[in-house]
Structure 1
Amino acid sequence: MNKRMFPGLLLALALVSGPVLAQEATPALYEAHVNVHDMASVQRGARIFFNYCAGCHSLQYMRYSRISHDLGLSEQEVMTNFDFNGVKFGDHAISSMPAADAAKWFGKAPPDLSLEVRAKGADWVYSYLKSFYLDPTRPVGWNNTVFANASMPNPLWELQGVQTAVYAPSKPGEDARVEKLDLSQPGMETPEQFDRTARDVTTFLTYVAEPNVYERERVGLWVLLYLVAFSLLAVFLKREYWKDIH
C-alpha cells in the first residue's frame, strides 16, 4: 500500500466511525408527538412550567403579554396563574433566582429555556423530563439518563414520583450503565398522566422556541393562495397572448 494513502485512510475511518460511536453513546429518546395547535396542551404546559420550572429557568425572549395574546388568555388569567414575582404584564418571563445563588446551589446558573427545543429537539426535552432518577452520588441527589450528571433535581418529582435505576451487568473496570428506570415511589399522577404532563411542557416550550408559528402559518396560507391565483392568471394571459400564433 502506498504510504501516502495510509494517513488518508485513517482519517476516512475516523470520520466514518465517529458518528457511529456518537450514535451508540446517545440514549434512545421517546417520541414527543407535540402539536402546538392543541391550545389546551400549550396552556396546560404553560401552567406547569410557571408553577414548577420558572423558579429557576427564565424565558428571556417571551413577555407575559405575548403569552396572553398567543394562548388566548386574559391578562388576569396570565398574571394570576403565571406570575409569582410581582412583575408587570409587559415584562419578560425572567426567573427571580439570582444567578450567583443558583451557581452556588447547583454548580452553575440554570439555563434560559427560550430556545431549548430548537437547540435539542422536542423529543430530547420530552425524554429528559421523563428520565430523572435518584442518585445519592450526585450533589443534588438526582441524575438523568438522557443528560448524565445533570446539575438539577427532578422539578416534577411530586407529579411523576421517584424513579430508581436498574443497572445492567458490567465487567470489572467498566462504568455502570443504567438499563432501565423503575418507579419506586408513585407520584400524584399515574405514568400515563405524567406522560401527558411532560408532553404538555414540551409543547409549551416548542411554542416558546418559535412564538410566531401561528402568524407564520396564517400568513403562509395567504401567500400560497396568492401564488396559486397569480399562476392561474399567468397561464390564462399566456394563452390569450399566444392563441393567434398557435
Structure 2
Amino acid sequence: TILGAALASLIGIYLACLVVVVLARRRGELRWTAALVAVALAGVTTAGTVALRGGDLGFLQSWFGPPPEHPGEYAASWSQRLIYTYVGGRIFLDHPVLGTGWHGLLPPDEYVRYLPDARERFADQPPHYFPPEDGVFVPQQAYDQVLFELGLVGAVVLAVLIALAAWRAAVVSRRGDPDAAYLPALWLGSILGALAGAALFGGAPLTALFWLTLGVVASQPEEVPV
C-alpha cells in the first residue's frame, strides 16, 4: 500500500485487520500482543501512505481548513473523485432501476447533461477535473459504478453476491486449521475495501482479483479432509 500510495487500499487493510480480530476472538485465539502488532503495522502503513498521498485529500482541507487564497488551491485527485461521484449520483437518480446499462466507460450522451450543474456545484475545481464533453466518463469506484450503470437491480445482485461470500467465509472460519480458516475472510475484506477506490473494468488487475477472491471463498471446504 505504501509503495503504491493508494489511499483507498487502506480501507482494505482496515477491514482485513478487523476480520482478523473478530475471527480470532470468535475462535478463542485472540492474543492482545498480536492484535497490537497488527494495529501498529496498519498505523505505519497509514502514515506512510498519507505522507505520500496526503495532498490528494484536498477536499478535506477545503471543508475544514482556512479559505483558499486562490481558486483551485485545494484541488486534488479525491476532489475529482467527488465530482465524478456527484455526476454518477445524478445519473443514478434519473435511471434508478436498471441504470444506463453496463458500459465500462460511459459515452458522453449518458452524462454531459449533468456537467453544467457539476461545474456550478464544484466551481472552485479546475476544468480538467470534470468529465470531458467529447470523451468518456471513467468510473472511479466500483460501488457507485454498479449503481449508475446497473441501478438498484445491479446493486441488489452485488449485495447478495457479497453477502453469500461473507456467509461462506464465516462458515469456513470455523475450521480447525487456523491458516485456512482466516484466508477467505481476509481476502474478501481486503478486496471489498479496495473496490472503494477503483472501478470494475475488463482486464483490470483489481477486477481479476475480485473474481479470484470469490473463487477462493467458494472453493474452500467446510472441513479439512482427514
Is the radius of gyration larger for structure 1 or structure 2?
1
1 or 2, which has the higher helix percentage? 2
1 or 2, which has the higher strand percentage? 1
TM value normalised by structure 1: 0.21
